[in-house]
Amino acid sequence: MTKQLLGAIMEISQQMTMAGAEIHRVEESVTRICTAYGAVRTDVFATTSHIIVSVEMPNDNILTQSRRMRNSGTDLEKLDKLNALARDITATTPSYEEIRERLAAITAMQSYPAWAQILFFGVIVGPFCLFFGGWNAAECVTAIVIALLSGALAQLVSHFTVNKVLGRFLCSLLACSLAFAATKWGLIATPDNVIIGNIMTLIPGVGLTNSLRDLFTGDTITGILRSIEAVLLAAAIACGYVLTVFLFGGVV
């Protein structure tokens, strides 16, 4: 195994982590790939922000590399392709050049455009508003319009900062403020269903699920880190609502 090959393996593990893979999957994939290329021992330590890999080869040569991740998210399509690439590498041990070529193609995959992601906010919020009792047409329309504006704000914030807590706070503040304002203006009778429908798009459900999955597989540190992140995001959403109630002088 060469430094370049280990670098490609590190890149795969980094991209998997940033796409939302559980840490057990990342560590197991790295170990299996390194073993397939002749490593007699592979030690992997990974969290959501850092990966360290040390590989011992039969000639007693030891290679060590690390990667630092500053942001992560959820991209199931990219994760599926990375997982398939890792399995294929383990089975066929292709050349470094082929790995780099296939990895570059996966990395270059385009996510949904900004306008589509904003549209998804409206598509998701509408049914949630209905589910929680917003059968009034005015409430559904208001919830969808607010969701589109919140989605636009989320896209705007993501281009200026990687701070998820700030982004969730601002989106919650905007959604709740607009819902209270619509009630004050007489567009809707109560802001409850509109606010609940919009907040459902902000709740870190995937992050909390991943944290529990990491805890159950023994990755305690990563599980705790992801749990803390989920709690902070939930607290940011709550703070956005509380500040709105304060600004509008109490619950309508």
User: How much of the chain, in percent, has pLDDT values that exceed 90?
Assistant: 39
Alpha carbons 194 and 9: distance in angstroms, whole number: 46
Which range is least confidently modeled, 31-40, 158-167, 168-177? 158-167
Check residues 131 and 176 and name the one with the higher pLDDT. 176
Please write the tens of the pLDDT for every residue from 129-155: 888 876 788 888 999 999 999 989 988
Burial string for 37-52 (b: 16+ CB within 10 Å, else e) reads bebeebebebbbeebe
- Residues contacting residue 251 through CB under 8 Å, at least 6 positions apart: 245
Alpha carbons 46 and 88: distance in angstroms, whole number: 22
Please write the tens of the pLDDT for every residue from 75-98: 888 999 999 999 999 999 998 899
Burial (CB count within 10 angstroms: exposed 0-12, middle 13-18, buried 19+), residue 27: buried
What is the C-alpha R_g of the chain? 22
The two three-digit tokens of residue 107, written as one number: 């990395």
Please write the tens of the pLDDT for every residue from 193-222: 899 989 988 888 888 888 888 888 888 888
- Residues contacting residue 133 through CB under 8 Å, at least 6 positions apart: 193
Q: Is the pLDDT of residue 225 over 90?
A: no
Q: Is the pLDDT of residue 126 over 60?
A: yes
The two three-digit tokens of residue 219, written as one number: 């990755």
What would the mean pLDDT of 57-66 be, rounded to a whole number? 89
Alpha carbons 66 and 137: distance in angstroms, whole number: 54
Alpha carbons 224 and 226: distance in angstroms, whole number: 5
Q: Dihedral of the CA atoms 21, 23, 28, 31 (nearest 10)?
A: 110
Q: How many CB atoms lie within 10 A of CB 217?
A: 16
Provide the pLDDT for residue 252: 47
The two three-digit tokens of residue 223, written as one number: 């599980």
Alpha carbons 8 and 207: distance in angstroms, whole number: 27
Burial string for 150-172 (b: 16+ CB within 10 Å, else e) reads bbbbbbebbeeeeebeebbbbbb
